[in-house]
Amino acid sequence: QVQLVESGGGLVQPGGSLRLSCAASGRALRELTLGWFRQATGQAREFVAGSKRGGTGTYYTNSVKGRFTISRDNAKNTMYLQMNSLTPEDTAVYYCAAAARGLITSSISSSDEYDYWGQGTQVTVSS
């Protein structure tokens, strides 16, 4: 069983930055496929970023490419989402997720492929 605990959300002005953290326990991070998803009010959950098991590849939805970076620190068993140049459209509850197996590239963005989820953290971008 894997537990994921998120932190780092909050209120930020447009153009600002935030870093979300997701601490994992129960299994080594390097064994997991990792993902970040978000859900805005009244909308479906959407893929934001993913990292293949072992950190062999990272993937982003088009709207965050060049602004967001997913990373992992295996020593701390923690994953991160660095978010820069934030806009009001990035406002959502952000969830970290983990899959206990390797995923092919085409499956990285599918929430159905992930076995474990964090509790979610609110990110609000507003002036």
Q: Which amino acid is present at 38?
A: R
How big is the chain, counted in residues?
127
Q: How far apart are CA 88 and CA 12, in angstroms?
A: 9
**Mean pLDDT, rounded, of the chain:** 95
pLDDT tens across 4-27, in order? 999 999 999 999 999 999 999 999
Burial of 55 (0-12, 13-18, 19+ CB in 10 A): middle
Chain centroid, CA 100 distance in Å: 16
pLDDT tens across 50-105, in order? 999 877 899 999 999 999 999 999 999 999 999 999 999 999 999 999 999 888 88
